[in-house]
Chains A and B, each alone.
Chain A
Amino acid sequence: MAQEQKQPKKSSETEEAVETAPETDVNERKEALDSDVDDILDEIDDVLETNAEDFVKSFIQKGGQ
């Protein structure tokens, strides 16, 4: 089966790299990631249609193929 064949290939290398990384680095990376996501959310806040509920309700289509 595909999965069982694949598992051994992804040997210890990648896993060790993650394990040996100090925990603070991981936390910092997560924070950087979060602020990265927040940046784009802020940008998107500015372009979102103003009344979400009305907009979603009035998006009515006729069937197609």
Chain B
Amino acid sequence: MSVRRVMGTEVEYGISVAGQPQANPMVASSQVVNAYASSTLKARRARWDFEEESPLRDARGFDMSRQVADPSQLTDEDLGLANVILTNGARLYVDHAHPEFSCPEVTNPLDAVRWDKAGEQVMLDASRAAARLPGNPQIHLYKNNTDNKGVSYGAHENYLMRRSTAFADIVKHLTPFFVSRQVFAGAGRVGIGQERPKHGFQISQRADFFEVEVGLETTLKRPIINTRDEPHADPEKYRRLHVILGDANLAEVSTYLKVGSTSLVLAMIEDGYITRDLSVDGPVSSLRAVSHDPTLKTLITLKDGRKLTAVQLQMEYLDLAKKFVEERYGSDADYQTKDVLERWESVLDRLERDPMECAKELDWVAKYKLLLGYRDRDGLEWDDPKLHLIDLQYADIRPEKGLYHRLVRAGRIERLLTDDLVEKAMHEPPTDTRAYFRGRCLEKYSENVAAASWDSVIFDLPGRESLQRVPTIDPLRGTKKHVGGLLDASDTAQDLFERLTGGS
């Protein structure tokens, strides 16, 4: 009923090897992941447990056959690519041709930002560790979503939802929100279109790569609403909404508002609170039209005939969310719910007046302001390689090279977290989800953890022939409150297992 729910982000990073544009990105990605694993893990490396994965299960109630699926959709096959589970509960691995950081499960937007930022630092350390490998490969990572040559890679969000909510309601009420959410969640992009882009600036990195309204695919014919139904929790009670259309954000406020507002809209959908029909006429073309207009004046036509800007459409959702929280909680709403509502309103008001007023908070505005500065000072056109370079280098995760980082250090971008909090989240799990159990097990009993996944930890215990699988099917169990004492009191994995199973 608030911004709180089980959630998390997963980001595929752009990768390049300095001086070697033809380098194999799978090899480079594996080097990054393996170098981090070798430099941080104490003992054996736990495998990923694929038992509960079902990437072809469709939320609309059927399974796609493996024969008709594109090979890139078979994400549950262990291809021997690098894959590690970290002590903070995250998964660091190679997905397709990119290194990916999947955050541990968290329960609120600020923690989602915190572990998402921790992912950037893990990637930074990983690339530095890779540079110490034989041959000293200089592998650089970018938190962006396109190479501007026809290719896109994702920054997904996951939200745990009640199974009882009809999927059709999610599609109906979430699509207009997703079409317009980019006004604060966009990361900004130089170039318009997929392959051989036209010259110009647009709000979103991803918008031009979305082609259908609803679907199971993530790598081709990308849908605004993805139907992958792989809850990693009790499927009778929950679904995991897998959101694939977002941009990879560096600005903390952008990520915070993105997941916070989305979580609130989902709460309203679950509650049957949205009775207004805000359906958009032609959502795919509207998504692109909104992205292509940084003045934010483009009008979207609703199915009821009204014409609104994307900011005004967002204000409709904000208006509903404010009433929803007021009716359900009044002044008892939790701090983050109130904070998300206030920031969401403030950002929308300023975007409507003059988008440039949000240059300290939102990625696309910060990037746009920088680009306009260069255009003014140096008389550059949008086709100038320097402007394309600035777009790319904004997302370079190295603090000395990345332009986002330079803007932060110059006090030009607002932060919500401290370096210290982010640093801790590189190693420590959130305390209020099952990620706590997973992370602590890997930290304390790594020599006895054979494999793990979102919904299990598998132990290899002395004196037992078979592996022992501890299911973690409920994302809200295995928290510090539940098992902190147990973990503290168990010196060995054997101790822990006996305590968990009540002897034997």
> Hey, which bits of chain A sit against chain B, CB under 8 A?
1-3, 6, 37-38, 40-41, 43-44, 47-49, 52-53, 55-65
A2 adjacent to B385 (CB under 8 Å): no
On whether the beta carbons of B312 and A65 are closer than 8 Å, the reply is no
Task: Give the complex CA separation of A38 and B376 in angstroms.
Answer: 10
- A56 and B388: CB pair below 8 A? yes
Are the CB atoms of B389 and A52 closer together than 8 Å? yes
Cα A63 to Cα B244 in complex, Å, equals: 14
Give the residue of A38, A43, A58, A63 whose beta carbon is less than 8 angstroms from that of B96. A63
Given the interface contacts A41-B373, A47-B400, does A59 sit within 8 Å of B244 by beta carbon?
no
Decide if B430 is an interface residue (CB 8 Å cutoff): no
- Shortest C-beta distance, B407 to chain A (Å), equals 7
Asked if residues A64 and B389 are in contact (CB atoms below 8 Å), the reply is no
| Binary interface encoding of chain B residues 336-371 relative to chain A, with 1 for a CB under 8 A from any of its CBs, else 0 | 000000000000000010000000000000000110
A1-B306 in contact (CB<8A): yes
B97/A63 in contact, CB under 8 A: yes
> Contacts A61-B97, A63-B151 given; 18 further ones with Cβ under 8 A?
A2-B308, A2-B315, A2-B316, A3-B308, A6-B315, A40-B373, A47-B401, A52-B386, A55-B389, A56-B388, A59-B392, A61-B14, A61-B25, A61-B147, A61-B149, A62-B97, A64-B152, A64-B154
Interchain CB contact under 8 A, B393 and A65:
no
| B12 contacts the other chain (CB 8 A) | yes
Contacts of A1 in B (CB 8 A): 306, 308, 312
The chain B residues found within 8 Å of chain A, CB to CB, are: 12, 14-16, 21, 25-26, 72, 95-98, 146-149, 151-154, 156, 218-219, 244, 306, 308-309, 312, 315-316, 319, 352, 369-370, 373-374, 376-377, 384-386, 388-390, 392-393, 400-401, 403, 406-407, 410, 412
How many whole Å from B272's CB to the nearest CB in chain A?
22
Closest 10 CB pairs of A and B: A64-B153, A62-B97, A58-B21, A61-B147, A52-B385, A65-B154, A65-B218, A52-B389, A53-B385, A2-B315
Instruction: Please name all residues of chain B whose beta carbon is closer than 8 Å to the beta carbon of A38 when the two chains form the complex.
Output: 373, 377
Tell me the smallest distance from the CB of B96 to a CB of chain A, in Å: 5
Q: CB-nearest residue of chain A relative to B220?
A: A63
Contact B370 A64 (CB under 8 A): no
Q: Tell me the complex Cα distance, A53–B374, Å.
A: 16
> A1-B308, A63-B152, A64-B95 are known contacts. Are A48 and B147 too (CB-CB below 8 A)?
no
The answer to whether A64 touches B12, judged by C-beta atoms less than 8 angstroms apart, is yes
Most interface-central of A41, A57, A65 (chain B CB within 10 A): A65
Q: What is the CA–CA distance of A31 and B197 in the complex, to the nearest angstrom?
A: 35
Residues of B within 8 A of A55 (CB): 385, 389, 392
Which one of A3, A40, A48 lies within 8 Å of B389 (CB-CB)? A48
CB-nearest residue of chain A to B316 = A2
CB distance from A61 to the nearest CB of B (A): 4
Known A2-B308, A2-B316; contact A56-B392, beta-carbon cutoff 8 A = yes
Q: Give the chain B neighbours of A44 by CB distance below 8 A.
A: 370, 390, 403, 406
Q: How far is the CB of B171 from chain A (nearest CB, A)?
A: 20
| Chain A residue at minimum C-beta to C-beta distance from B405 | A47
26 A-B pairs with CB atoms under 8 Å apart are A1-B308, A1-B312, A3-B315, A6-B315, A38-B377, A40-B406, A44-B390, A44-B403, A47-B393, A47-B406, A48-B386, A53-B385, A57-B21, A59-B148, A60-B151, A61-B98, A62-B25, A62-B97, A62-B98, A63-B97, A64-B12, A64-B97, A64-B219, A65-B12, A65-B219, A65-B244
In the bound assembly, the distance between CA atoms of A58 and B21 in angstroms comes to 5
Separation of A52 and B384 alpha carbons in the complex (Å): 9
Contacts of B218 in A (CB 8 A): 65
Contact B388 A40 (CB under 8 A): no
Could you tell me the distance in whole angstroms from the C-beta of A15 to the nearest C-beta in chain B? 11
Would A41 and B12 be within 8 Å (CB), given that A48-B393, A63-B153, A64-B154 are in contact?
A: no
Which B-chain residue is minimally distant from A39 (CB atoms)? B410
Q: Which residues of B contact A41 (CB under 8 A)?
A: 370, 373-374, 377
Chain A residue with minimal CB distance to B372? A37
Determine the distance from Cα of A52 to Cα of B373 in the docked complex, in whole angstroms.
17
- CA A63 to CA B410, docked complex, whole Å: 34
Kindly state the separation between the CA atoms of A2 and B440 in the bound complex, as whole angstroms.
Answer: 49
- Closest Cβ of chain B to A53, distance in Å, is 4
